[in-house]
Amino acid sequence: HVQLVESGGGSVQAGGSLRLSCTGSRPTDGDSAVTMAWFCGAPGKEREGVAGLSNTERITYADSVKGRFVISKDNAKRTLYLQMNNLKPEDTGIYYCAALRGWLHPDRLLWSHQYNRWGQGTQVTVS
């Protein structure tokens, strides 16, 4: 049973943009108690935190994406977004969304082991 579904990945040239979406299947995914984040990984590699949004609307970005990526959430649509601008080849990877019902300190929003629900990922390739 897939609970988080990502979409919006694809292939783009350096400097281009993509917007990723992650929709939760539970009705409670739209309430304000859920903390969510985006991670990037590759087969055989640990997933690295990209951007996190706490249930108190605190946001944390990885240094590598600050000023280029924007995380946001539409609770009515139960959907988390990642607007990715000025993409670079090093942004290439499989992007996963993650969720946790509860609060995380901003310093922990990009710690993958804090989350207990994950999507299957969407591929982003920048050339």
pLDDT-derived band at 1 (thresholds 50, 70, 90) equals: low
pLDDT tens digits for range 76-85: 999 999 999 9
Name the band, by pLDDT with cuts 50, 70 and 90, for residue 115.
Answer: very high
15 pLDDT band (50/70/90 cuts)? very high
CA pair distance 6, 46, nearest whole angstrom: 19
Q: What are phi and psi of 78, to 5 degrees?
A: 55, 40
Q: Give, in degrees to the nearest 5, the angle at Cα 111 between 105 and 117.
A: 100
The pLDDT tens digits for 42-67 are 878 889 999 999 999 999 999 999 99
Structure tokens given for 81: 């977004």
User: What one-character DSSP code corresponds to residue 112?
Assistant: G
DSSP class of residue 32 equals: T
3-state secondary structure of 111: coil
